[in-house]
């Protein structure tokens, strides 16, 4: 068979597998948005069946033989060669896991998610401990099956950012921690910034309308996506033409929904910008979760907490909430939304203390996977770390170790990508500013084409062609450096705090 026919066969197989995976993703999205409570068990079975089918199809020996044949062909384009190379890597990794194990893991995730949701309602970690413990045991098994060097957590982090290791993250976090503590020590002696106006009463429906308008203004295509409410904000996609975001609303906390919309909107713009002609293939997928988080953190913070963005959108804000912001000018608003202060909830944390929320989760995950602490130890360990790093006492489980959805999904190895994403975001934003000196003026005038065009050209269109570090070097001329974030934060908060 000639190369063109072989590649066409590969593409057809990959797209059929993608169809099954995205069908499962639709069911998972529905599970977290509209599923009636009595549907939990059968929904878990349905998702497990589809996960098992997709795994069986991808790890079938015929797929391995096809990839091996194509790997030796010299008459493929550069993009085709890259798709085959990446699929081959994925294949060799996935064949280490049996279909039965994949099904068991999916079923356990379903049980764990619903136990977490119930525990949240009852504000008690006890109801989550056993299902979570079962899931952690499976994640340890998964690490052993996949294989690793030095630390079992490396095998799990590799799922979210290929090649990411404990050694790399530990080194980066130790460097970042020292510099953040210096900056926080400097800021603690400054006059506190008022943000009390964000804690007034904000009608749920009015917040919803405002959030939808913000998404439109950053370029989210509602012909290729939608927003809904969920217990924990998330973004999922079923193709680049169908991207779903969710948010949550607190009628006494304006920031909760607003920056969730911008954060998830950043994720969604990335998904909508991926090459549609590469559907089902590696080049139609995102680079890594670290790069994905760079997009959400860029829109949430570098842009969405920046003064230029609000110079354009402040009128929308005051028109939407005239009573709440009638005595608040844009300068006070800008300072308030950037107030630096230790807090309990990661998703609502300021840009500096946010990293300590991530580091705490990262350290706990490492210990759980290596077995140095047990699941029952999580609340005490969590509370101790929050006292140590942020100097705050955790009052209950909902504002402590139950606040994130990730562990219920089995997403061990994910959390480090949030901090890495913030570092990548600052480095990308610095590059865009240098290449486009009128960026602030453009944002102040509501012109987002400058930043969208750059991201499309440098990030979105590449799919998985490059690793995180390769993509960063290509886009910014430098490998990931924490100094870009520290410089960005120092300049920003020096202006805000004087």
Question: Are the beta carbons of 283 and 232 closer than 8 angstroms?
Answer: no
Question: Are the beta carbons of 114 and 91 closer than 8 angstroms?
Answer: no
Q: Determine the 3-state secondary structure of 245 from DSSP.
A: strand
The DSSP annotation for 161-229 comes to: STT--HHHHHHHHHHHHHHHHHHHHHHTTSPPPP-GGGGS---HHHHHHHHHHHHHHTT--TTSEEEEE
Q: How far apart are CA 156 and CA 159, in angstroms?
A: 6
The structure tokens listed for 458 are: 């440098």
The structure tokens listed for 441 are: 């003026």
Is 264 assigned a catalytic role? yes
Q: How many CB atoms lie within 10 A of CB 498?
A: 8
Query: Which residue out of 32, 52, 264, 300 is catalytically annotated?
Result: 264
Question: Are the beta carbons of 67 and 88 closer than 8 angstroms?
Answer: yes
Q: How far is CA 368 from CA 31, 127, 362, 365, 386, in A?
A: 27, 18, 10, 5, 17
Question: Are the beta carbons of 58 and 94 closer than 8 angstroms?
Answer: yes
The residues near 482 (Cβ < 8 Å, ≥ 6 apart) are 172, 175, 176, 179, 423
The residues near 397 (Cβ < 8 Å, ≥ 6 apart) are 119, 123, 124, 125, 379
The structure tokens listed for 494 are: 């020096």
Q: How far apart are CA 44 and CA 46, in angstroms?
A: 5
H or E stretch at 5:
helix 3-31
Which residues are identified as catalytic?
264
């Amino acid at each position: 068979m000639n190369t063109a026919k072989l590649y066409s066969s590969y593409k057809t197989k990959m797209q059929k597998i993608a169809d099954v995976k995205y069908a499962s993703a639709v069911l998972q999205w529905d599970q977290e948005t509209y599923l009636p409570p009595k549907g939990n068990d059968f929904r878990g079975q349905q998702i497990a069946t589809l996960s098992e089918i997709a795994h069986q199809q991808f790890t079938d020996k015929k797929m391995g033989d096809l990839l091996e044949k194509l790997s030796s062909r010299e008459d493929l384009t550069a993009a085709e060669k890259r798709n085959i190379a990446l699929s081959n890597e994925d294949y060799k990794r996935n064949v280490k896991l049996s279909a039965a194990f994949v099904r068991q893991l999916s079923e356990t995730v379903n049980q764990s998610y619903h136990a977490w949701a119930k525990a949240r309602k009852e504000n008690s970690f006890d109801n989550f401990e056993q299902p979570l413990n079962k899931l952690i045991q499976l994640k340890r098994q998964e690490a052993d099956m996949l294989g690793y060097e030095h630390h079992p957590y490396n095998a799990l982090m590799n799922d979210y950012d290929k090649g990411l290791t404990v050694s790399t993250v530990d080194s980066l976090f130790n460097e970042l921690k020292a510099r953040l503590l210096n900056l926080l020590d400097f800021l603690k002696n400054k006059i506190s910034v008022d943000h009390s106006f964000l804690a007034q009463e904000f009608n749920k429906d009015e917040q919803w309308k405002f959030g939808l308008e913000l998404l439109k203004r950053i370029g989210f295509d509602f012909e290729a996506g939608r927003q809904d409410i969920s217990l924990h904000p998330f973004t999922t996609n079923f193709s680049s033409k169908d991207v779903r975001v969710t948010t949550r609303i607190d009628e006494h906390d304006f920031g909760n929904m607003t920056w969730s919309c911008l954060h998830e909107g950043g994720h969604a713009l990335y998904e909508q910008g991926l090459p549609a002609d590469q559907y089902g293939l590696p080049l139609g997928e995102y680079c890594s979760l670290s790069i994905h988080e760079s997009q959400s953190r860029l829109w949430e913070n570098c842009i969405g907490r920046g003064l230029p963005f609000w110079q354009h959108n402040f009128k929308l804000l005051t028109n939407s909430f005239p009573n709440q912001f009638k005595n608040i000018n844009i300068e006070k608003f800008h300072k308030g939304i950037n107030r630096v202060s230790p807090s309990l909830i990661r998703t609502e944390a300021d840009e500096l203390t946010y990293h300590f929320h991530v580091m705490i989760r990262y350290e706990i995950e490492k210990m759980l996977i290596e077995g140095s602490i047990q699941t029952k130890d999580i609340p005490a360990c969590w509370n101790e770390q929050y006292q140590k790093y942020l100097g705050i006492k955790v009052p209950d489980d909902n504002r402590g170790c139950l606040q994130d959805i990730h562990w219920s999904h089995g997403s061990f190895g994910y959390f480090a990508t949030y901090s890495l994403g913030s570092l990548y975001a600052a480095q990308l934003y610095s590059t865009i500013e240098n290449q486009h000196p009128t960026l602030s003026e453009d944002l102040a005038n509501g012109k987002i084409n400058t930043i969208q065009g750059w991201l499309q050209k440098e990030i979105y269109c590449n799919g998985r062609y490059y690793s995180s570090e390769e993509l960063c070097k290509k886009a910014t001329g430098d490998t990931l450096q924490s100094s870009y974030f520290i410089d960005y934060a120092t300049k920003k908060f020096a202006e805000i705090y004087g």
